[in-house]
Amino acid sequence: MNIKPILFSTEMVRAILAGQKTQTRRVIKPQPTRPRWHNIGWLGWDDGHGYRMKPPCEDGDVLWVRETWCKDASRYLYRANYGENEHFYQNGNEIAMHWHPSVHMPKEAARIFLRAKDVRVDGLQAMDEETAIAEGFTDSPAGTDSPLTRFAEFWDKTTKREDLREFGWHADPWVWVIEFERCKKPEGWGRK
């Protein structure tokens, strides 16, 4: 078992905390050439030219979630715990919180741990409504966008503009599908 970091947006951290998100998809870079690759099991994927792409994690690995955070004088605070327009006060005075991006989150601030249950490759558009719900997009009332439509919009929103042609929803890239469950902090976590 390895312990590895994984980045999530604030919206997706909220879905994990609510127990709504049990899957994530991560684009494979570089994209395999479609006619020239084949599955070689947990070792990764072979592109037909001897290049193997290893998955970001394997079944049983523990992933520590990196999320948007800040630190006050004595503790870490997490953006996912607060509303988008929430104001913060100290001694009766409003203060501006300086939120740090998830990529800069230190290990000691980690509070969410996930155990990978299944790691596989699929085309992004191989999803259906059920897998969009497992991605954290709850079912919606009639007359509103479906979970799958909302996932596709979110995917494109979180993909760099210059990468949309290759990795956006309509490009249907190959992705790693990681199914996970929440777990406890690994024993010895944080010790050097």
In the prediction, which pLDDT does 162 show? 97
- pLDDT single digits (tens) 9-64: 999 999 999 999 999 999 988 887 654 555 544 445 555 556 667 889 999 999 99
pTM: 0.87
In the prediction, which pLDDT does 33 show? 64
In the prediction, which pLDDT does 37 show? 53
In the prediction, which pLDDT does 141 show? 79
Alpha-carbon gap, residue 161 to 126, rounded angstroms: 22
Alpha-carbon gap, residue 177 to 124, rounded angstroms: 9
In the prediction, which pLDDT does 20 show? 96
In the prediction, which pLDDT does 96 show? 81
Backbone angles phi, psi at 95, to 5 degrees: -125, 150
> Hey, what are 12's tokens?
């997706």
> Hey, what are 75's tokens?
């503790």
Q: What is the CA radius of gyration of the chain?
A: 19
Alpha-carbon gap, residue 96 to 40, rounded angstroms: 51
Which stretches of the chain drop beneath a pLDDT of 50?
35, 40-43
Alpha-carbon gap, residue 137 to 14, rounded angstroms: 11
> Hey, what are 157's tokens?
């929103």
